[in-house]
Chain A
C-alpha cells in the first residue's frame, strides 16, 4: 500500500520527516508492507503534515499528524483509508481544494516530484510536444493569446516579452527563471520547485524553443535549500531522459539548464539586479532601457520571467491558450495562485481565476485569523504591497482593480494581521526593510528609506506628528517617482496605506520601537 508524506519544506518544518520515519518504523514493527512516497504539498499548509493513503476510491487524507499519532493511525487501519479523528476523507473533495482552478498546480501534492514517469502520466511534457510540433512563432502566439502576465508582480504581458526576444538577433540567447521569491507571504515558486519541478523545466524549455535560446538559469534564493536540491536533481533526471541537452526530445533544439543560488539579497528579485547577480556582480539595479529582452544576461537577449509565469506555460501549450484565457477578470486572464499567509486560520495556496474578492479569500477561504481575533488589515503583494482594511474587502482580485485602490497584487501573497497589529510599526518596518535591502544605486531609495525610519521614530515618540507625517508623505512622493526600481518605488505603498487607512495609530505617542 502507498502512503504519501509530503517532503515540502513547510511540511518538513512541522515534522513531516519525523512522521515519515515513524510510519516506516511502525509498519516494520507490525510487519505491514507499505511504500512511502514523499510527494510535494497540496498547498493546504494548515493541514500539514497531511498524510495520504491511496485507496481504490481515491486518496484519503489525515491532517496535522504528529509522531505521537502514528501508532493510533495503524490501530485504526488508516492504510485502508479507515476512519480516524484526523481523517479528512477524500482529499480532492476537501472544499479548500475542490473550489480551486488548478491549471498550474494540478499535479502539486499528487505526484512524486522526482518521478518523470509520474509527471508524464499526469500530462507532463504534453506542452513541450505541442510546442515542438507548432514551432517557435506559434508558441509565442499562444502565450500572447493566453493573456498571461508576469506573475512576479509587474504584470507585463509575457507573450510580448517573448516576442521581443524572438525577434532579437544574437549569437546566444538566455532564459532566466526568477525564483528569488523574497516577498513575505509568498511560497508559490517554492511549491512549484518542490512539488512539480519538471513543470518549470518544461516551461523554460518551451521558452527556449520559442525564442531560440540554448541556455537557461534558474536563480533560486538561498533561503530555499530544499527547492535548490529538488531542481538540481530534476534537471539531472531530465538530462538523462533527453529532455535537456542537445536535441531535446528528439528535436533539433538544444537546451541546457542550470541552477544558480542567490545570496540573501531581496533586491535580486528585481530582474536587472538578478541579471547582475548571475553575472557575478553586486546585485545593483540596471537602468532601463536597454530592456533585458534586448540586452540581458551577459549582454544577450534574455527572457527573464517569474517562476509561476514559466510554470504556467506547459498548461497553455498543452490545453490551448483559449482554455487559459477563458477564465479571469478584465485584463487579468487565467489563474493566480493566491497565497494566504500570516495570521490566518487556513493558510496555504489557493489557485483560482482572477475576480474573486479579497474578502472571499481572507474570510471564506482563509477562515479569518488564526488567533480568532478580528482581521485588522491584509498586506497584499509582499513587503512593497499596500495594507487593505476590511472596509476594502470588496476589491476584486485583479491587477487593475488593486492598482485603482493604490495597491498591487504583486506575486500573489496575502498576509493577514489581527487587531493587535501596530500599523505605525508596520509602516516603519516597510522603510526599515527598504533601507536594509536597498542596493544603493539610486538616492531616493538608499537615503529616503533611512530618513523614513528616522521620521517614524519621531512620530512614534510624539514629536510634531502632523508635521512629520507630512514629511513622510513628501518623502514617499520622492521615492515613488525618483527610484530606479520597485524597491524604492513601491515602499510607499505599505507606508501610505497604513497612514491613510489607520490614521489614528500615528497620532498617539508610543514607546520607541525596540532598540536594535
Chain B
C-alpha cells in the first residue's frame, strides 16, 4: 500500500464521521472509513461516533469489537492475510503459514518489531480453486506455496 494512513486526530475523524451520518445504518460505513483514513479505529473514536449517532459508547465499542476487520492499533507497513479455511488447508496452507510465522517470529495477528509486516488469518478469499490463497496488502495471491510467501515477505520493505 502506497497510501500511508494519516495520524489520528479528532478533527479529521469528525469530518470522516460527518460524511456518513446521514446514511441508513451508518455505523459500519463510518468504521470502514475511519480505518481507511487512519489505518485503525482507536478507542478515541468511540466517543466521537457515539455523539454523532446519538448512541452509547458501549454500543459503539460492542460493534467495533464484534467484527474481525477493525483494528484497535495500527498494523505494520504491509499486511499479509493468509487463508486458513478448508480449501486452503487441503493444499497445505497450515504448514506454509507455520513456517512463515516461525521464520518471522510471529504469531497470528502479530507485527514484526520493525513494523514491516503484519500477518493475519483470514477465512476464505474466494480463491479456493487456486489454493492456497493470500492477500498481500490489497493484492490477491493464488497458489501461494511456501516459496511464494517467502518471496512476498522478502520483497516487503
Interface positions of A (Cβ within 8 A of B): 9-10, 12-14, 45-46, 48, 181-187, 189-190, 222-226, 260-266, 277-284, 298, 339-344, 347-349, 370, 379, 383, 413, 415-418, 421, 426, 429, 433, 436-437, 439, 514, 516
CB atoms of A341 and B66 under 8 A apart: no
Q: Which of the residues A183, A189, A264 comes within 8 Å of B68, measured between beta carbons?
A: A264
Interface stretch, picked from B2-10, B72-80, B110-118, B138-146, is B138-146
For the complex, give the distance between the alpha carbons of A383 and B124 in Å: 10
Q: Which of the residues B27, B67, B131 comes within 8 Å of A341, measured between beta carbons?
A: B131
CB atoms of A10 and B90 under 8 A apart: no
Interface positions of B (Cβ within 8 A of A): 24-29, 31-32, 53, 59, 62-63, 66-70, 85-91, 94, 98, 107-108, 122-131, 133, 135, 138-143
CB atoms of A184 and B141 under 8 A apart: no
For the complex, give the distance between the alpha carbons of A336 and B133 in Å: 24
For the complex, give the distance between the alpha carbons of A81 and B135 in Å: 34
- A263-B69, A283-B66 are contacts. A182–B124 as well, Cβ < 8 Å? yes
Contacts of A349 in B (CB 8 A): 129
CB atoms of A12 and B140 under 8 A apart: yes
Contacts of B133 in A (CB 8 A): 13
Distance (whole angstroms) from the CB of B120 to the closest CB of chain A: 10
Distance (whole angstroms) from the CB of A107 to the closest CB of chain B: 19
Contacts of A415 in B (CB 8 A): 86-87, 90, 128
Known A10-B126, A185-B85, A265-B68; 4 more pairs at CB < 8 Å: A10-B142, A48-B142, A226-B140, A278-B28
- A265-B68, A415-B87 are contacts. A347–B128 as well, Cβ < 8 Å? yes
Look across to chain A and name the residue whose beta carbon is closest to the beta carbon of B35.
A263
- A342-B128, A343-B91, A370-B91 are contacts. A263–B86 as well, Cβ < 8 Å? no
CB atoms of A416 and B90 under 8 A apart: yes
For the complex, give the distance between the alpha carbons of A286 and B32 in Å: 24
Most buried by A among B62, B94, B130: B130
CB atoms of B70 and A10 under 8 A apart: no
For the complex, give the distance between the alpha carbons of A348 and B127 in Å: 10
Contacts of A277 in B (CB 8 A): 28
Contacts of B28 in A (CB 8 A): 260-263, 277-278, 280
CB atoms of A185 and B125 under 8 A apart: no
Q: Which of the residues A187, A224, A260 comes within 8 Å of B129, measured between beta carbons?
A: A187
CB atoms of A280 and B25 under 8 A apart: yes
Most buried by B among A14, A181, A280, A437: A280
Q: Which of the residues A265, A344, A417 comes within 8 Å of B66, measured between beta carbons?
A: A265
14 example contacts (A-B, Cβ-Cβ < 8 A) are as follows A13-B127, A13-B130, A14-B130, A184-B85, A187-B129, A223-B122, A261-B28, A263-B68, A264-B69, A280-B25, A284-B66, A342-B91, A342-B131, A383-B85
Look across to chain B and name the residue whose beta carbon is closest to the beta carbon of A194.
B126
Contacts of B32 in A (CB 8 A): 222, 261, 263
CB atoms of B87 and A9 under 8 A apart: no
CB atoms of B89 and A433 under 8 A apart: no
Contacts of B124 in A (CB 8 A): 181-184, 186, 223
